[in-house]
Copies of this chain bind each other. A is one copy, B any other.
Amino acid sequence: MPQRTVYFVSDGTGITAETFGNSILAQFSAKPRHVRRPFIDSAEKALQVVQEINETGVREGKRPIVFATLVNREVLGIVRSQCQALVMDMFGTFIEPLEEEFQVKSNHRVGRFSDVARSQEYHDRIEAINFSLAHDDGQSARNLDQADVILVGVSRCGKTPTSLYLAMQHGIKAANYPLIPEDFERAALPSLLQPHKKKCFGLTIDPDRLSQIRNERRPGSKYAELVNCHYEVREAETMMKRAGIAWLSSTHKSIEEIATTILRDIRPDRLIY
């Protein structure tokens, strides 16, 4: 099957073009080649990328698809007029109706991330990452009262990546705390968590999947054994149910989906800003 290439062209990082373009492409079964071309912020760079795109089209015998998030008018003009490609001008398409709605002209600022590095919001994100790292896997009980969320669950159910994602993308101070066999023997939530039950959120996982993940880490260990995984998951779920902690299964969910559910369920305020 002939190859076809999709370009994400931006005068910023191109992350927006790529995120949005990929979610549109997910609607098609075709698997084109993806190329991101960030920081295309001058006529010279525009001409270079246009040449690359046009050569690709000739080579593949199919015109490329270009998702463009270009604020720079000159660059956008070159890409629109000279690319032998299907150009999806993502900003232009939506900015005009918004200018009409707001009754103001847009200010052509390049990049969603420009100048953010010194903003309070950015500072809070970095602080949240530091907090989540310091409170990974129950490492520290200090300042748990400052946590926005405390993820609980058995070892290797997805707590760490979810905490880091919540911190990095949403500036959420997300601690995570493992539930371990000793807790199950005592049949009680770790005492450190007792005062913070309201901000606890549980993750669980299919025991077969857990066993598979643990076997990658410690092949053949009791820790990874299917029967042990069944035991731990069952005990953890019982404990969370008794403590009134909401939980979800990470088995078929990405960290993005888990994080969004947690926000919706225990910090709906953070979906409004």
| Residues in B neighbouring A160, C-beta threshold 8 A | 129-130, 133
Q: Which of B33, B69, B104, B260 sits near A38, CB closer than 8 Å?
A: B260
| Residues in B neighbouring A20, C-beta threshold 8 A | 16, 19-20, 90
Q: Is A256 an interface residue (CB 8 A)?
A: yes
- Excluding A13-B259, A111-B257, 15 further A-B contacts by CB distance (< 8 Å) are A15-B169, A20-B90, A24-B98, A27-B98, A28-B98, A30-B102, A33-B272, A65-B98, A88-B97, A115-B252, A117-B252, A117-B253, A118-B252, A125-B161, A164-B164
A273 & B38 in contact (Cβ 8 Å cutoff): no
A260 & B13 in contact (Cβ 8 Å cutoff): yes
A256 & B15 in contact (Cβ 8 Å cutoff): yes
Minimum distance in angstroms from A119 CB to a CB of chain B: 9
Given A24-B91, A133-B160 in contact, is the A117-B251 Cβ separation under 8 Å? Answer: yes
Given A122-B254, A160-B129, A160-B133 in contact, is the A91-B39 Cβ separation under 8 Å? Answer: no
Contact pattern, A 54-96, Cβ under 8 Å of B = 1, otherwise 0: 0000000001010001010000000000000010101101110
Minimum distance in angstroms from A233 CB to a CB of chain B: 17
Q: Is A242 an interface residue (CB 8 A)?
A: no
Given A122-B254, A260-B39 in contact, is the A23-B104 Cβ separation under 8 Å? Answer: no
- Given the complex of chains A and B, what is the CA–CA distance between A160 and B263 in angstroms? 24
B95 & A24 in contact (Cβ 8 Å cutoff): yes
Most buried by B among A12, A91, A98, A254: A254
Binding site for B on A (CB under 8 A): 12-16, 19-20, 22-30, 33-39, 63, 65, 69, 71, 86, 88, 90-91, 93-95, 97-98, 101-102, 104, 106-109, 111-118, 122, 125-126, 129-130, 133, 136, 158, 160-161, 164-165, 168-169, 250-257, 259-261, 264, 271-273
B257 & A13 in contact (Cβ 8 Å cutoff): yes
Closest to A119 in B: B254
| Residues in B neighbouring A115, C-beta threshold 8 A | 252
